[in-house]
Amino acid sequence: MKEVSFQETFFSAHDQLRLYTRTWGEARKGVILFLHGLGDHQGTARYLIHTLVQRGYLVTGYDARGHGQSPGKRGHVMDFEEYCQDLLLFIQDVQKRYPDVQSSALMGYDLGALVGLRTLQQHGNLGLQTFVGLSPLLHPSITRRSLKSNLYRLGGKVAPTWRIDLPYDASALSHDLDIIDDLKRDPLCFREVTTRALRAIQEAAAQALLQAHQLRLPTLFLQAGEDRVTDTTTLQRFAERTLPHILRVAVYPGYYHALHNETPDRRGPVFEDLMNWLDESLFLP
């Protein structure tokens, strides 16, 4: 696959941290704001971004604080709201950059989907037409095996920057062995977080479930059927609590967590479902 060229820049976060951004393609159909997953960066979604650009979308996104080429302590926030405030400013930045674009969508994977969801629940539709979440981190199962819950909770209070390994590795993300190898060798990826960040993520996921009815933007959730990173039953509970006609859920049996980085035969149907949703939601011919 030929790499899609991109433009690099930075934007100022809520605390003036300079977050690294990339932009690909031209907005013939619209603009997609993309949010990556926990421990990842924008560069790990190259197949998804290539497909979006080929279909006529401009894609723009940023490395979250503490991720990729953005500054900040790796895998750390004191409060989940830091992620949400960054997204609010990024949306404003994109809307200023492309004032004539009428169709825009927010798309997030894993942690990025949770950040997008919490931001929309708290701040409304923000001038967007639709939201897409890929394997949203609605119930992180990252404390189930190797961590003792009381120990990490104590660490979150008295040692918030204490680092803990995530119990899953790259093999839980995809059936594609080449992608797994790339993720393992990628110096910008990590598989550990601080105790405070873990608490913040889990608290945000719990609030997202409680406030499912506050989602008002037409939304598509694409969920892996064999997900070892997040509990898929929580997504079912979330869907039951949303308002009518707001949420559509597509589940892919046998798929691993990173739907967009599965083997070509698997990710093909995911991308087709995604493109059909975008064209429908953005009122495109």
Question: How far, in Å, CA of 111 to CA of 247, rounded?
Answer: 19
Q: What is the pLDDT of residues 262-279, one digit of tens each?
A: 999 999 999 999 999 999
pLDDT score of 283: 73
pLDDT score of 166: 77
Which residues are CB-contacts of 246 (< 8 A; sequence separation ≥ 6)? 215, 216, 217, 218, 219
- The sign one gets for the Cα dihedral 179, 181, 185, 189 is positive
Instruction: Report how many domains make up the chain.
Output: 1
Instruction: Give the β-pairing of 18-24 and 6-12.
Output: antiparallel
Minimal CA–CA distance to 22: which of 70, 62, 56? 62
Residue 160's Cβ-count burial label (10 Å; 0-12, 13-18, 19+) is: middle
95 domain residue, yes or no: yes
1 domain residue, yes or no: no
Which CATH number belongs to the domain containing residue 135 in this structure?
3.40.50.1820
226 domain residue, yes or no: yes
Mean predicted confidence (pLDDT) in 98-115: 96
257 domain residue, yes or no: yes
219 domain residue, yes or no: yes
26 domain residue, yes or no: yes
> Which residues form the domain of 274?
6-281
pTM of the model as a whole: 0.94
